[in-house]
Amino acid sequence: MTYDVPDLLKLSQAQLDELFTNSPPGDIPDGEAKGTAIIAPGTTYSTEIAELINHFAWQGKIFDATHGTLKNRILAFGLQAIIAKVYKSASWVDGKECIVLDYSETSLLAQRVRDEIRLIAPGRYLGVVYWGKKRLINFALQF
């Protein structure tokens, strides 16, 4: 399966969890990715919420694999801000290797945020967002 964003938005939380758990970490990405927040997965509201967030709050991430960092593209005009360190480590979901997007040392605003991503198809990653140790939402990245 290609796992386009519309497909991911239709999956239940259990299906997203299974996809994440069964996917490899992949290589640390490089370049710009369009991001989509996955909130209320599998419901009729998921697509509308994702579109609203994408337009007004978060559009995606720009990775620099050479330096192991990224910047988020935020707000309606795509401001590049909120930097994270990027590295491979054990996932909090299942203990297997994933790519960690770590904001703890790079952002006052997001210092309690940790994202984890895994490759689900060529150029496509599925992510999990944590606030502290509390799991919040999923997201998709498409390069």
Cβ(37)–Cβ(53) below 8 Å: yes
All structural domains of the chain with their residue ranges: 5-142
Average pLDDT over residues 127-141: 97
Q: Find all residues with CB under 8 Å of 120, minimum gap 6, and list them.
A: 3, 19, 20, 23, 126
Q: What is the pLDDT of residues 77-93, one digit of tens each?
A: 889 999 999 999 999 99
What is the structure's pLDDT at 61? 98
pTM score, whole prediction? 0.95
- Residue 77 main-chain phi, psi, to 5 deg: -105, 10
